[in-house]
A and B are shown apart, each in its own frame.
Chain A
Amino acid sequence: MNIFRLAGDMTHLMSIVVLLLKMHTIKSCAGISLKTQELYALVFITRYLDIFTDFVSLYNTVMKIFFLGTSISIVWYMRYHKVVKQSYDKDHDTFRHYFLILPCFLLALIINDEFTFREVLWTFSLYLEAVAIIPQLVLLQRTKNIDNLTGNYVFFLGAYRGLYILNWIYRYFTDSHYRRKGITWTSGIVQTLLYADFFYYYIRSWRRNERLNLPA
């Protein structure tokens, strides 16, 4: 494992820790999109179907369990926790997530490495992950006064994507068995580009020491 991959995994982990911290200690999910969180839970469930059959490393298995467990519990917090669910901004989180799920599933049926149940769902999870952030970005644009934890959450998530691309580039040149298919490159890059606009405003507000506010 190279440094980019490890740093990417750690920022991904950090983003989830930040989110759980917000919900568990502050008992708030203000500014967080339930749609995006449900999509991520679906991403992990469909991707890690191999968790009990294909062992890669203890690190991988532990991380998979972590991502599955946390993504499902975040959805639970937002839907059912007595206090947390009250801060959910339902009126602004209106993006229809099945508009993302259906095309991703159709694409996975058409473009995949192997037409098997697990392979199609694994490919589906890659496509869906690429676009799962969209409802969150839409909600951020509609939110006045984005709080620090929400801003940091999206920042860490974007950093994770950027670092994974560096990891792929690194592996492409150093690992002869490693050849990523064009479609996975594409979905990864699409996902990272989605954050570009957010990053611009995040860094600007940080440099000016201002509150993060996205233009409408």
Chain B
Amino acid sequence: TKVAAAKDEL
């Protein structure tokens, strides 16, 4: 699944 940009941060 594709993850929105900010969601790859903690």
CB-based contact A54/B6 at 8 Å: no
Q: Smallest Cβ distance from B2 to chain A, in angstroms?
A: 9
Stretch of A27-35, A92-100, A175-183 lying at the B interface: A175-183
Which residue numbers of A lie inside 8 Å of B, CB to CB?
Answer: 5, 9, 12, 50, 53-57, 60, 63-64, 67, 122, 164, 167, 171, 175, 177-181, 184
With A9-B10, A64-B10 as contacts: A178 and B5 at CB distance below 8 Å: yes
> Complex: how many Å from CA A167 to CA B10?
12
Bound Cα distance A5, B10 (Å): 9
Please measure, in the bound complex, the distance between the C-alpha atom of A179 and the C-alpha atom of B5, giving whole angstroms.
8
Interface residues of B in 1-10 (CB under 8 A from A): 1, 3, 5-10
Q: How far is the CA of A63 from the CA of B10 in the complex (A)?
A: 8
**Closest B residue, CB atoms, query A13:** B10
If the complex has contacts A63-B10, A67-B10, are A54 and B3 also in contact, measured as CB distance less than 8 A? yes
Which residue on chain B has the smallest CB distance to residue A44?
B10
Q: Distance (Å) between the CB of B9 and the closest chain A CB?
A: 7
Residues of B within 8 A of A (CB): 1, 3, 5-10
- Find chain A residues with CB under 8 A from B1 CB: 53-55
Main secondary structure of the interface of A (DSSP, over half): helix
Contact of B8 (CB < 8 Å), options: A53, A56, A67, A179? A56
> A122 — which chain B residues lie within 8 A by C-beta?
7
A-side contacts of B9, CB under 8 Å? 5, 164, 167
Q: Report A-chain residues with C-beta under 8 Å of the C-beta of B5.
A: 171, 175, 177-180
Distance of A130 from chain B, by nearest CB (Å): 14
The 9 A-B residue pairs whose C-beta atoms are closest, nearest first, are: A178-B5, A56-B8, A54-B3, A63-B10, A54-B1, A56-B3, A177-B5, A180-B6, A9-B10
